[in-house]
Amino acid sequence: MDNSFKSDMSIFNNDISFLIELRAKPQILEIVTQKHLAEISDEIPIQDKKNDLIIWNAMYTRQIVENGILTRYLHPVYNKFYDLIPTLNTLQSLQDLEIQMIDTYINLLINDVEVKDNFVINRILKHLHLNIESQISLKQLSSDLNLSEGYISDCFKKHMGITIMKYAKKIRIDRAKVLLVTTTNSILEISLTLGFHDQSHFHKVFKYFTGVSPSEYRNSNFG
């Protein structure tokens, strides 16, 4: 008789909760990467993986709320993943989505801690991270936050030492770096996922922030 739980065993382990509290994204990604290798080896059923991700989506949301992020900021993120999980039908795509979930949720925590004493900056950061896959303009951001372009520009530059648009590109490149070394998605797929006009534009911005091309970064960081 099999007495084990029919699910991802790490769901019942407190290590992830502790690492989320520490904002330890690299360590969480390492655990999940090892888990993914085991899932491939065990050839786990697709439906089991979908069920696990639905549970993890809820657990990440709960953990983030417990660490101080307001629930209203999480609704769009949680709903996006909840709706997306049933539409994916390969283990690779579901594993890729799990990496994106971790990256999204932990970044919300990390950036909340950075400037938690400034309400306006927090609003801007959360909006940028929640819309990381969209091509956002300063005008659109100003409209969404109901604040003037000049005010949010000056406020952000003063507190963060970088312009809003440059920061928006930076976090998309940070996400791209994660996707390049944790998924097998093509560079074109990654660039389109993150809202770049085309692969050439993505290549230019990536090299500006990292000093290397996306393919060079992937090749030097695999394994």
Hey, where are the domains in the chain? Answer: 10-114
Q: Which residues contact 143 (CB under 8 A, 6 or more apart)?
A: none
pTM: 0.58
Task: In whole angstroms, give the CA distance from residue 19 to residue 3.
Answer: 28
Task: In whole angstroms, give the CA distance from residue 209 to residue 62.
Answer: 33
Residue-wise pLDDT tens for the chain (223 aa)? 344 445 555 554 556 777 777 677 778 888 888 889 999 999 999 999 999 999 999 988 888 877 766 666 678 888 999 999 999 999 999 999 999 898 888 887 777 655 445 778 878 887 888 788 877 889 999 998 888 999 999 989 888 889 999 999 998 998 888 888 878 889 999 998 888 888 899 999 999 999 999 999 998 876 5
Task: In whole angstroms, give the CA distance from residue 113 to residue 220.
Answer: 31
